[in-house]
Structures are given as structure tokens and as C-alpha cells.
Structure 1
Amino acid sequence: MTMISRIMGFVRDMLFANIFGVNAATDAFFVAFRIPNFLRRLFMEGAFAQAFVPALSDYNEKGSKEALQLFIDRTAGTLAILLLLFTLAGVIAAPLLIMLFAPGFLWEGGQYELAVQMLRITFPYLFFVTLVAFAGAILNARGKFAIPALTPVFLNICMIGAAIWISPLMAQPIMALAWGVFGAGVVQLLFQIPALMQLGLLPRPRWGYQDPAVKRMLKQMLPAIFGVSVVQVNLLFGTLVASFLTSGSISWLYYSDRLVEFPLGILGVALATVILPRLSEHHAADDTLAFSKALDWGLKLVLLIGLPATLGLTLLAEPLLSTLFQYNEFGSDDVRMAGKSLMAYALGLLAFMLIKILVPGFTSRQDTQTPMRFGMHSIVANIVLSLLLAFPFAHAGIALATTLSAYLNALLLLFRLLKTRIYRPCEQWLFYILRIVAANAIMSAFLYYFVDVTLWLDWSASQRGLHLGMTIGLAILIYSSALVLLGIRPRHIGLHKSVTT
């Protein structure tokens, strides 16, 4: 289901590149979209789930169904009221938010005003999508992963519909995309309701801020934001710095980020979504061995797929961008410029995935302070590196700063889990790593020596698509064959019944 959502996201972005190209108006939209979308990632894939799911697991393990329903009802009512107030404040403060997150727009008056108008339309998306996150967390905690994973498809469908049918009717076509975002929030929330009714857990909202469990969960959300969503915070800061660079920089970073998000969403986010309830259950049951084995399984799977995805995206940066986006308004110069930032982002893909697995090792134990502390280190490092690298390397320097700060965060998290013996690696990790590295070296040699990037820009769309499909297919075949020849088998990943059932 996650893969369906990500593929639809690619279709959406290909359409945007085709219809709107890269210009000041698209930069304005991507800022107006990135602010609520950043908050969506914070809540849907981050802070809310990390704070809510462990509390929900405790009720499932130790409490009655009536206590569980009361906790859900009070959380729903409290969250809805707080969100409504926050959303109204965001709409009113839209000019200040654009000034804060894209101060470079102030020198382009029309671009600044356009971004403010679109943000006032897109910001209410946060209200709906956080309630969607709430509903999805309930479903995930009950082992129902398909509906929450499929829900983001409706964002893509609504935005595609707006681009095709609404934008030609508007004086400023790009405004249609903002209305598409707003409509998607409503549709996504309605899509969750039947699944909740089927479980008998449809919330009956009540104000419950004084409830100790609700208050504790809300307090844990703030540190969880800085723990699990550091990469998103860093990306948003990168947008701020890019607003001072040449026109198109924000769009190039956006398209680069979207390509990195594809493997990150399919494996990183999906695996984190699955592993968090399992880790919470093992912690609630005080099963430290199963807890460590679940982490071991997640880390091995990330290395198995994350490392070749990292190298593949880096070596195929321009061919991928050319095949997916080089149509009409998106030219070869845009491919080259976006390719630079894609290579820089792609090098950090493995770190982005590791963070998705390592943070639940803390938050599932209701420890949100440690990831927050390390996350703050990463944010400070990103700010310093972005300012140092942005002007000599332009937008690619911003992407590289995000990558380097992500590795810092991942290493700090891993070392703490090892030091406290929360995570105890299974045997033969060294041999596993050596085999994975050898298989990736073989695959990378093929991509480096047999892919001529200069030819790609001159081919037709069909030629690019055919060659890209063949190249990726051969790379997967070479990597898979190398794994088998080097002796990697499913048992080496550490598949464990407590993880997979």
C-alpha cells in the first residue's frame, strides 16, 4: 500500500514538472505546501505515533476495553480542540510564516504574496491530517496497516485532479494545487472512519486535557518531534536557506527530495510503522530479548536494501530525473541542477532509514528525551553546515548538510542503544556487513562503467524509460545474484516470529 502511494506521488510530481515547470510560482507553492506537509510528516510519520502507540499498547496489554475507549475519546477531543486553535493561528499568521521559512521571497513581492495566499489555503490541511494520524495510530496498534498506508494516495489523487481540471480555470493556475491539498485533508479523514467503526473504536471526542494519560502523551509529543522528525526539520531549514539562492533552487531541492522519499517511504517509513507497535508490545511484556531481536531484524533489513538504494540513487541521479521529469517546462538544465542535490541527498538515504528504525528503540520505551537531545545536536550541525556549504555549493550544499547531520544523528542513537545494552547485536554481523558491502561494490561497478549519463539528456522519453528500466532491472539482478553467491540467506536477516507475526 505504501508503494502504491509513492508511485502515485511520482505521477503527481511528473505532472507538476510537465504543467508548471520550475519558476518563481512553483517555488512559492512548494514553500506553501512544504510547511503543512512538513507538519504532516511530523505527526503522521513522527511525533504523534511515537507518543500515542506505546500508550495505546499499555492499555491493550494491561487495561480494559472501556478504559481504552475512554483514553481514545479524551485524546480525540483534546487533540481536535488544540488543533483547531493552532490551525486558526497558522492561517492568520501566514505572512509571518512565509517570512520565517522563506525570507528570500521578501525581495520578490509578487512571489511573497502568492506564497501567503496559498499557505492560507493549505494550512488547514494540518487539522485534518493530524486527525488522520490519530486514526491511523489506532489502526496500526491493532495490526491494521493497510488503510493508514493507503490513505496518502488521496493527497496525490486530489492534487492531480486539481492540476488537470482546476488549474486551467484559474487566473493563477498554481493556486489550484493549494485547493487540492485542502480537499485531500477532508477526503483522507473520511476514508479512515469505516475501518475505525469496524474495530468498534470510532472516537467519541471529549475534552480530556486533565486526564493524566492524555497529558503525559501530549507532553511526550514535543520531544518526539525533535527525535523522530529531525530530517524533516533540517529539510525545512534547507528551504529557508534556498530562498536566498537563485530562482528554482527550492524546486530543484523538492524534486531531489521526492526521489529520495520513494525508497525511504517504501522501506524506512513502512518498516518503522510496523516495528513500533512490536517494540512497544515487547517492552510492555518486559521481553528484552525479543525487543533486541526486533531491532536487529530492522537494522539488517535496512542495510540489505538501504545501501544499494543509496548507491543506486547516487549513480543514477541524472538518468532518474531526466526520465521522470524532463518534459516541456522541465529542461535539461533543471535535470543537471536537481541532479547535484539528488546525489547529495541520496548519500544520506541509509542514515535517514536508520533513524526511522533506531528512534522507536527509545520511544517504544516511552523515552522521548534521548532522541530529542540527539536530534537537537543534528539540527545545530545542519544549521552550521548549511550556512557553510550553501554559498560555495549552492543548493547541493544544503542537501549535503542534511545528509551529514543525519549520519551524526544515526550514529549517536546507535551508540546509545549499544552502550545501554538495550540493543545487543546478534552474532555474525561482521560477516553479514562484509557480504553486503561486496555485493554493493559489484552492483556499483556495473552502474559506474556501463551507464553514460551524457547520452540520457538527448534521448526521447521512450528511450529514457526503456534504458532506465533495463538498467535498474540489471542492477537488481546483479545485486541479488551477488548476495546469493556470497552466501546471504533469509536466516541471516534474523527473521523472528515475534517480529513478523
Structure 2
Amino acid sequence: MLKSILTVGGWTMGSRLLGFLRDMLIAASLGAGPIADAFFIALKLPNLFRRLFGEGAFNAAFVPAFASTLAGNGAAQARALAERMSTLMTLWLTLLTVLGMVFMPQVLHVLAPGFTDEPVRFGLAVEMTRITFPYLVFICLTALISGVLNGLDRFAAAAGAPVLFNILSMAALFALAPYTATPGHALAWGVTVSGAAQLLLVWVAAARAGMPLRIVSLPRITPEVRLVLRRMGPGLIGAGVTQLNLAVDLVIASLLPAGAVSYLYYADRIGQLPLGVIGAAVGTAMLPLLAKQLRGGQALSAHRTMNRALELSLALALPAAAAQSVLAWPIISALFLRGAFGELEAAATAAALTVYALGLPAFILVKAFVPGFFARGDTATPVKISLVVVVLNLALNLVLTRYLAHVGIALATGLSAWVNVAILAVMLRRRGQWRPDRRLRRRVPRLLIATLAMAAVLVALRLMLPDPVGSTARLVVLAVYVVAGLVTYFGLAQAIGALHLGEIRRRGRG
């Protein structure tokens, strides 16, 4: 599992770093004004549906079924299942995309009601979202084929596909901006083209792995297909609840003054680095492994897998959260403070990042706990938990934004995530499907000690070092903070037995 996590995490890290470069270019070109707000809505809307119909509910139901079919019935049956599901998904998503493009003004009246009072911003959002919406079909099919690759224990291509998103988005900004109405329109075209490129990449990887998929003209609803669809039902509701949570944030952010959508986007992008590298990697690697272990009656191995995943999640999430909270201003100013993105925008974004960081460990732990349900075919329990969380998030949003504006949205999201983690953990433990083993109980307090020591060092450095002037100086000082934090945390964690870096290296190569 660790080798798979490192593979997924390494590619995701590369993608996120390219994403930072892309966002730096977007911030310098668009700032945090109406065009930026419109583009981020255009980017967020197909991604809401992607997480609903692609990565979320579908993968939770499909990956265990594919892995079980592959292990029990062979590659031919597994391929047939994947082809039938890809055909059904193509038909459904194409219909959804056409309807979405036709009725986009009505959709945005619901999801971004604050834009309707500003005709220019609303019109830009409608135009750009119509351009990006076909991305939904491409990226959901990419998620399906990625699930096939994960079921075959091939993680590199699926994890590396998002690199194309960042590269092609930047290329579109440079190449198409002179010919489009705004740089935001150029970026929107880059999003859609990148979806087609990602789909091609994973299809070729699957073909090379002996699993070339094709669209079936008339897919048969076999028992395996019905099982996936039946398991998708609760998952769709659960994913829908999660996306409703994000939609609530979007609706409320659109009602705040111009720029709020952009501040939250830039802050969330920073938080997405550890969430994507750690959380997504852990969840992606755990699900097929847990499904195979449980199918093989290896309950003790499944128990160890979950505990080691939680241990690794906390070992990386805790210092990442502390560093983002302490270094919010140095991070935001170094990455984005240039061009159209001024000090006011940087300060507002840094405030959101400080609060987002408090919930970061929770976001990552959710990714580690949820496979414990999905691998057992239980997609209903996370749904019920998500319903509680979305109601809580809505209530907190309504209260906190009155006093904290866009920062209140970030705080509500983090608090809701911690409640989600607590309920997931309690449910698994009550069922006897997880309990913290002795190694996890011994190492977590030591990880906290190393994290607090690192935070103290970073605070002391911030007080000692002057605030730099100029982009290069800010990047150099940020690099100093990063090196100091890494040396302090990993050095102390190794010394007090919170981590054993040699063990991680050995297992990563294994």
C-alpha cells in the first residue's frame, strides 16, 4: 500500500506544483475581480458534477466490484463490466452536458444567485461555464478508466493525468488569450481540451495494461452492472450531499462582495496540495487493497492497513496544517502577490488559508476512514453521516459569514469536517471494523509533539525575519521557512520515535 501511496502522491505532488504555477499566472492575469470570479465558477461547476458522477459515487461502487470480478472471474469478465459501465456513463453524461449547456443561465441563477445583480459578471460566468461543461464527460470517463487501472494496481497514469490539466491550461492562457474575449475565456477552453487529453492518456495506459475499453452499442444490464448501480444509489446520495455542501459554500460566497469566490479558490488551492498528495493518495491506494483483503478473509490485514494509512495520514497532515496556518501570509504573498493580485487580495486570501488549515487533517482523515465502509460494500452509512454534516455546514455558514465574511465559510467547512471524522471513527469502532492499534496510539502523541515544535520554530523565524520586498525575495524567504520546518519536524519525529524514515524508504521501494 505504501508504494502505491507514494506513486499516487508523487504524481499528485507534481500536478499540484504545476497547479501553483498555473494559479500564479491566473492571479497575475485576472487578480480577484469579476473575470476571475466568473472563471472559478466555470471551473467549479463541472467539477461539482464530476465528483458526484465520476470520482465519488461511481468509484466507491465500481472499484471494489471490478477488483472482485477480476480476482474471481478473470480479466475478460472484468473488462466486459468496465465497458458496459463506460457506455452507460457516456450516454448519461452526454445528456446531462447538453441540458446543462442549454439551461446554464437558470443553473447559475440557483448556484450563484449573487451574480445576478451584476449582469457583466453573470454573463461572463454563463459564457465560460458553457465552454467548460463538456469537460464533465471527458473527466468522468477518465475517472472510470482510472478505476480500472487502480483495480489492476496500476496507479501512475491515473495519478499523472491531472498534470495535463495544468500544462494545457497554462498553454491556453498564453496561446489563446490574444484571440478570446478575456483571458478567462482562454482558460475555459484549456480546461475542456485538457479533459480530452486526460481521457486519451488513461485509455492508452489501460490498453497497454491489457484492458483496452470500447463503447458498447447496447450495454446489457448484467448482475454485475446491477450490483454497481445498486451500490451507486446510496453513494450518489452521499456524494450529492457532499457536493451540496460545496454548492452551499458557492451560493453563500456569491452573495458576498466581489472577490470572495476568488479568495476562497486561491486559499483552497493551497490546502489542496496536502489533501491531494496525502488524502487522495491514501484513499485511492486503500480501497482496492481493502476490498481484496476483506474478500480473501484477511480481516487482520485489513485492520493493519487502515491503521497504517491513518498513521501516515496524520504524520503528513499535522505538520502541513500547522505550517499553512503559521505561514499563510508568506505563502500567499510569495505565490500570488504580483500583477493584478495586490496586498488587499493577498491579505483576504491568507486569512481564509489560516482557517482552512485548521480543518486540513480532518479532510485527509475522512479520505482514510471512508474506504473502510466502501470496501465492505457499505455506501449507505457515509451517506447518513454526510446528511448530518451538510446540515451542520449550512447552519455554521449562515451564522459565521455574518461576522467573518468569506473566512466564515472556510471555518464552517473545517468544523464540519472534524464532525465528519468523529462520526466515521465512532461508527467503524462500534462495528468492530477498526480500532487504533498499539503502534498508532504510541505514535500519534509523538507526532503532535514534533508538529508543535515545528510550529514554534516557524513562529520564531517569522518574528526574526523581516517581511521581504519583491517576488524573488518572498520566494527565497518562503524556501527558508520550508526547509526549517522540514528539518525540525522530520528530525525531531525521527529522534522521538514518531517516524522511522528508513522503514518508509524500504517499504516505498518494496
Distance, in Å, in 2 between the alignment partners of 1:453 and 1:111 is 43
Give the CA deviation at 1:81: 0.9
Q: Over residues 42-77 of structure 1, what are the superposed CA-to-partner deviations in whole Å (9 max), with x where a residue is unaligned?
A: 455422221111001110221133322221221121
Question: How far, CA to CA, are the matches of 1:500 and 1:73 in structure 2?
Answer: 33
1:25 to 23, 26, 35: 35
CA separation of 1:3/1:214 partners in 2, compared to 1, >3 Å: closer, same or farther?
Answer: same
Q: Given the alignment, which residue of 104, 108, 113 partners 2:123?
A: 113
Counterpart check, 1:414 vs 2:425: yes
Contact 1:43 1:133 in 2 (8 A): no
Q: Tell me what 1:198 maps to.
A: 208
1:88 matched residue in structure 2 = 98
1:137 is aligned to 147
Relative distance call for 1:91 and 1:44 in structure 2 (3 A) is same
Residue 263 (str. 1) matches residue 274 (str. 2): yes
Provide TM-score, normalisation by structure 1: 0.95
Paired position in structure 2 for 1:304: 315
2:411 aligns to what? 400
CA displacement at 1:429 relative to structure 2: 3.3
CA distance in 2, matches of 1:369, 1:324: 41
Write out aligned runs for 1:256-405 (5 A): 256-405=267-416
Residues 406-448 of structure 1: per-residue CA shift (max 9 Å, x gap)? 0111111011111111113221433312211111111111112
Match for 2:170 among 152, 156, 160? 160
| Contact 2:248–2:394 (CA under 8 A) maintained in structure 1 | yes
- 2:193 equivalent to 1:183: yes
CA distance in 2, matches of 1:126, 1:453: 48
Aligned residue for 1:243, secondary structure, equals helix
2:3 counterpart residue number: none
Residue aligned with 2:153, SS = coil
- Paired position in structure 2 for 1:61: 71
Q: For residues 220 and 356 of structure 2, what CA distance do their matches in structure 1 show?
A: 40
- The 3-state SS of whatever aligns with 1:424 is coil
Specify whether residues 46 and 493 from structure 1 end up closer, same or farther in structure 2 by C-alpha distance, changes over 3 A only.
farther
Matching residue of 2:222: 211
Structure 1 partner of 2:44: 34
Residue 152 of structure 1 aligns to a residue in which SS?
helix
Q: TM-score, normalised by structure 2?
A: 0.93
In the alignment, which residue of structure 1 is the partner of 2:8? none
Q: Which residue of the other structure, out of 123, 128, 133, is the alignment partner of 2:138?
A: 128
Amino acid at match of 1:160: M
Tell me the SS of whatever aligns to 2:339: coil
Distance of 1:476 and 1:118 partners within structure 2? 40
Q: 1:265 to 1:225 in 2, by over 3 A?
A: farther
Q: Distance in 1 between matches of 2:206 and 2:441?
A: 45
Displacement after TM superposition at 1:229 (Å)? 7.9
* Distance 1:256-1:187 versus aligned 2 partners, 3 A rule: same
Go from structure 1 to structure 2 and tell me whether the alpha carbon gap of 1:452 and 1:246 turns closer, same or farther (over 3 Å shift). farther
The worse-fitting range, judged by mean Cα deviation, of 49-58 and 230-239 is 230-239
* RMSD, aligned α-carbons: 2.2
Gaps of 5+ in 2: 1-10
The aligned counterpart of 2:18 is 8
Identity %: 35
| C-alpha spacing 1:170/1:204, structure 2 compared with 1 (3 Å) | closer
What is the identity, as a one-letter code, of the residue corresponding to 1:75?
M
> Do the aligned residues in 1 keep the contact of 2:363 with 2:417 (CA within 8 Å)?
yes
State yes or no: 1:471 paired with 2:481: yes
3-state SS of 1:204 partner: coil
Does 129-138 or 161-170 show the bigger shift?
Answer: 161-170
Asked whether 1:104 is paired with 2:114, we answer yes
Deviates more, 1:38-47 or 1:422-431: 38-47
Aligned residues: 499
In the alignment, is the contact (CA less than 8 A) between 1:87 and 1:127 conserved in 2? Answer: yes
Q: Structure 1 CA distance, aligned partners of 2:158 and 2:243?
A: 20
